[in-house]
Homo-oligomer: A and B are copies of this chain.
């Protein structure tokens, strides 16, 4: 919670997810809130911005999203990897999960689903209902209603990681992550094509 937050224009919000980072999905309904880790999330459209997200039918998060029609995506960073792993391992059905994972919620601006503190970016999403996708594929399509980022790592539509602890994460398997690595501009490289 000690880091900054700045609104990201909606038309630039896809840039928060474009590189494929791990997310934390926040949800709430009827007095119960939950957080889970999700890698299977990506942008779907620019304007209005939309995302797709896969949420297993056996999770508490699924139940809360189906009931509320809303969720949040918080993008965690390297210094939070152990907490992200816990959020991907523990079940919200076994009692309040965020604090057990060492994560702290704070209020979103447009949805009731909570955001996760200490992350580097946040998106607030409303489900566009599609029973067939949800029932057959565990796939949710949602519109992004609001987005924020820590201006120390994302501003003017660009990520700029200086502190390695604040780099975003990409999940592999079995507790292993990649850190988002070096940035480079390929348009400055001579094309080798003929």
Interface residues of A (CB under 8 A from B): 15, 18-21, 39-45, 50, 52, 54, 81-86, 99-103, 130, 132-133, 137-139, 141, 157-159, 167, 170-194
Once A19-B20, A44-B137, A133-B133 are accepted as A-B contacts, the answer to whether A193 and B39 lie under 8 Å apart by CB is no
Contact indicator A103/B193 (Cβ below 8 Å): yes
Contact indicator B40/A43 (Cβ below 8 Å): yes
Contact indicator B39/A44 (Cβ below 8 Å): no
Q: Which residue of B lies closest to A184 (CB)?
A: B177
Contact indicator A99/B18 (Cβ below 8 Å): no
In the complex, which of the residues B43, B86, B183 contacts A191, with contact meaning CB atoms closer than 8 Å? B86
Once A15-B172, A20-B20, A20-B39 are accepted as A-B contacts, the answer to whether A184 and B179 lie under 8 Å apart by CB is yes
State the CA gap A99–B172 with chains docked (Å): 33
In the complex, which of the residues B45, B81, B100 contacts A137, with contact meaning CB atoms closer than 8 Å? B45
In the complex, which of the residues B19, B45, B50, B176 contacts A172, with contact meaning CB atoms closer than 8 Å? B19
Contact indicator B18/A171 (Cβ below 8 Å): yes
Contact indicator A40/B42 (Cβ below 8 Å): yes
- Shortest Cβ distance from residue A86 to the other chain B in the assembled complex, whole angstroms: 6
